[in-house]
């Protein structure tokens, strides 16, 4: 009879015996049949899954390309219109006489373009010079608009597309498309502005089928949302911090990415593409749930059939292995008994190392750990410190409050010390009676002093009444000893002796204090 590593002996005759070869062969055959069936269904499901994504990716790219081209044609028309009007104003003074012939031309262009909300010419101070609006507000001025400030501060004459704003004249949401006007000397003379109806762009986006949970958006190069479907007013001109889409958009003219929307949290397949001739990009995002809805339906039917077949195999297996039921039951009982013995051994080992009153390590376990830690300290040349604690006037506490209260006092003091000695490598143990001891690896005297003071404060924070104490509460005295790992002559006994002498000094000097050996 041989003993296993837990110290529990077993009779080989009580261990489970292997099943007969016929049962093993039947089991292997049934298992192989089941695995092949499941693997085939998983492979088919994987192929159809890849096909669904491949088809959707192509559809998303084509849809994104179509949206980009349609929107590009709109903004390119606006760009050409602004360049035409700018050419007519070039090198002319923006006087009433020069601007008067421009107004009917602007009105004609406006009437021919459904997407235009208005055309405007502003002076160098933002004043309205000529426009297509039926009426002009008193003292109308646009010098505070972002596009006006941008043109005034930059000499670029390129057309600028800005985030949507609400028209001051009509209250309608519009997308400003503007261009700087210079005078004959090349100085800033004003701004030429065309405003595109947000409603018109939204109407274009609504013409694309993207499902119930899909989304289409038009954005500026910096990631600012110009317009998004589904439409929400708060999304107009919104800039999302740390948008997961922007690194991809900034690295390629077009592409596909799968992300979770930072706006509504829906997982989508996003096709993005920059407009060919304008500093804008579009995204067409299809919901992953909708993309996979048909695939999931087919897979559910497929796996339902597979489960039916597996169930039939299972029933057959039940009949085949019914004769093994009793043996399985006996094996289970043996396993449970074995686990109980292992658990009991573990509990005994734990009890052998821990103090029954406080739950922390006992003296025996402490001595073992101390030898290991001191050996590592010598091997790696690292410092180690020992803290020796003594509950002040504990005999008087026991005599006055009784032994049950004394036991509770030791439990609470141990818990308080554990809060201070909390690093994973630190060791706290009950050294005997009202004494506790701690080992602090990789800790020199200065660090040990900090831990000791923290432990003393934790005990004081308990505020356990003690009539025989000068402070009126339970306190501890602490002796600290430290050793450099390079000093190979240090032993556990020497360190404990040094800490004990420091503890004696702490008690001699009035208790409730920390004394470091050699200090």
The answer as to whether 216 is a domain residue is: yes
Local confidence band at 169 (pLDDT 50, 70, 90 cut-offs): confident
Q: Give the model's pLDDT for residue 3.
A: 38
Q: What is the tally of structural domains in the chain?
A: 2
The answer as to whether 259 is a domain residue is: yes
User: What is the three-state SS of 369-390?
Assistant: HHHHHHHHHHHHCCCEEEEEEE
457 is catalytic: no
The answer as to whether 250 is a domain residue is: yes
Please check whether residues 499 and 369 belong to one and the same domain: yes
Local confidence band at 427 (pLDDT 50, 70, 90 cut-offs): very high
- The whole-number average pLDDT for the span 230-247 is 90
Strand 215-220 relative to strand 225-229: parallel, antiparallel, unpaired? antiparallel
pLDDT in tens, 325-351: 767 667 777 788 778 777 766 666 666
d(CA 124, CA 72): 30
Local confidence band at 318 (pLDDT 50, 70, 90 cut-offs): confident
pLDDT in tens, 117-159: 999 999 899 998 888 888 776 678 889 999 999 999 999 889 9
CATH number at residue 495: 3.30.70.270
Please check whether residues 264 and 382 belong to one and the same domain: no
The answer as to whether 265 is a domain residue is: yes
Whether 219 shows a pLDDT value over 70: the answer reads yes
Please check whether residues 267 and 406 belong to one and the same domain: no
Share of the chain above pLDDT 70, in %: 90
Contacts of 431 (CB under 8 A, 6+ apart): 363, 366, 388, 437
The answer as to whether 509 is a domain residue is: yes
Please check whether residues 273 and 368 belong to one and the same domain: no
Please check whether residues 390 and 502 belong to one and the same domain: yes
Of 291, 312, 339, at which residue does a domain stop?
A: 291
Local confidence band at 489 (pLDDT 50, 70, 90 cut-offs): low
The answer as to whether 235 is a domain residue is: yes
More confident residue, 145 or 291: 145
Please check whether residues 511 and 368 belong to one and the same domain: yes
Please check whether residues 370 and 506 belong to one and the same domain: yes
The answer as to whether 324 is a domain residue is: no
Of 291, 309, 324, at which residue does a domain stop?
A: 291
- What is the phi/psi pair of residue 223, to 5°? 100, -5
Contacts of 121 (CB under 8 A, 6+ apart): 85, 89, 94, 99, 102, 128, 129, 130, 131, 181, 190, 191, 192, 193
DSSP letter (8 states) at residue 485? T
Whether 1 shows a pLDDT value over 50: the answer reads no
Give residue for tokens 């509460």: 473
Whether 13 shows a pLDDT value over 50: the answer reads no
Give residue for tokens 């509950």: 391
Please check whether residues 407 and 502 belong to one and the same domain: yes
Please check whether residues 400 and 490 belong to one and the same domain: yes
Q: Is 471 exposed, middle or buried (0-12, 13-18, 19+ CB in 10 A)?
A: exposed
Please check whether residues 385 and 467 belong to one and the same domain: yes
Local confidence band at 277 (pLDDT 50, 70, 90 cut-offs): very high
Entry pTM: 0.53
**Lowest-confidence segment of 23-37, 182-196, 254-268 by average pLDDT:** 23-37
pLDDT in tens, 443-474: 999 999 999 999 999 999 999 999 888 889 99
Whether 46 shows a pLDDT value over 90: the answer reads no
Please check whether residues 281 and 368 belong to one and the same domain: no
The answer as to whether 215 is a domain residue is: yes
Of 268, 291, 314, at which residue does a domain stop?
A: 291
Out of 125, 434, 458, 471, which one is annotated catalytic? 434
- The whole-number average pLDDT for the span 380-405 is 92
CATH number at residue 259: 3.30.450.20
Share of the chain above pLDDT 90, in %: 44
Local confidence band at 438 (pLDDT 50, 70, 90 cut-offs): very high
Q: Which of 396, 404, 411 is nearest to 467 (CA)?
A: 396
- Angle at the Cα of 13 (from 9 to 14), degrees rounded to 5? 65
Structural domain of 212: 201-291
Please check whether residues 267 and 375 belong to one and the same domain: no
Q: Give the model's pLDDT for residue 9.
A: 42
């Amino acid at each position: 009879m041989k003993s296993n590593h837990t110290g529990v002996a077993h009779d080989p005759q009580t261990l489970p015996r292997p099943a007969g070869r016929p049962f093993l062969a039947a089991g292997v055959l049934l298992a192989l049949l089941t695995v092949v069936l499941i693997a085939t269904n998983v492979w088919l499901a994987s192929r159809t899954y890849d096909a669904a994504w491949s088809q959707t990716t192509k559809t998303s790219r084509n849809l994104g390309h179509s949206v980009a081209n349609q929107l590009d044609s709109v903004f390119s028309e606006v760009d050409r219109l602004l360049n035409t009007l700018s050419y007519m104003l070039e090198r002319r003074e923006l006087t009433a006489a020069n601007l008067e012939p421009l107004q009917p031309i602007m009105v004609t262009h406006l009437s021919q373009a459904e997407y235009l909300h208005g055309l405007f010419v502003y002076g160098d101070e933002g004043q309205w010079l000529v426009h297509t609006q039926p009426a002009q507000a008193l003292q109308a001025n646009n010098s505070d608009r972002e596009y006006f400030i941008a043109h005034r501060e930059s000499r670029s004459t390129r057309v600028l597309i800005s985030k949507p704003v609400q028209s001051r004249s009509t209250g309608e949401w519009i997308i400003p498309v503007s261009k700087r006007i210079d005078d004959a000397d090349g100085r800033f003379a004003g701004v030429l502005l065309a405003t595109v109806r947000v409603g018109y762009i939204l109407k274009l986006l609504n013409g694309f089928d993207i499902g119930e949970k899909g989304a289409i958006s038009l954005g500026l190069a910096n990631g600012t949302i110009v317009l998004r479907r589904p439409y929400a007013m708060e999304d107009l001109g919104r800039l999302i911090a740390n948008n997961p889409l922007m690194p991809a958009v900034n690295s390629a003219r077009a592409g596909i990415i799968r992300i979770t929307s930072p706006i509504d949290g829906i997982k989508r397949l996003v096709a993005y593409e920059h407009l060919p001739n304008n500093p804008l990009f579009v995204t067409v995002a299809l919901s992953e749930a909708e993309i996979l809805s048909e695939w999931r339906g087919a897979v559910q039917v497929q796996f339902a059939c597979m489960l039916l077949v597996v169930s039939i195999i299972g029933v057959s297996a039940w009949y085949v292995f019914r004769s093994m039921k009793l043996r399985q039951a006996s094996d289970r009982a043996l396993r449970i008994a074995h686990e109980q013995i292992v658990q009991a051994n573990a509990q005994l080992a734990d009890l052998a190392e821990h103090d029954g009153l406080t739950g922390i390590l006992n003296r025996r376990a402490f001595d073992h750990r101390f030898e290991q830690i001191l050996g590592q300290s010598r091997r790696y040349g690292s410092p180690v410190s020992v803290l020796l604690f003594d509950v002040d006037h504990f005999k008087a506490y026991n005599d006055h409050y009784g032994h049950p209260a004394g036991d509770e006092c030791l439990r609470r003091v141990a818990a308080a010390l554990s809060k201070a000695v909390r690093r994973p490598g630190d060791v706290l143990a009950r050294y005997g009676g009202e004494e506790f001891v701690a080992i602090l690896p990789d800790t020199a005297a200065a660090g040990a002093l900090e831990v000791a003071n923290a432990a003393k404060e934790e005990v004081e924070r308990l505020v356990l009444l003690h009539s025989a104490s000068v402070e009126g509460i339970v306190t501890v005295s602490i002796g600290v000893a430290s050793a450099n790992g390079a000093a190979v002559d240090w032993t556990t006994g020497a360190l404990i002796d040094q800490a004990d002498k420091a503890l004696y000094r702490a008690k001699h000097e009035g208790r409730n204090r920390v004394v470091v050996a050699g200090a």
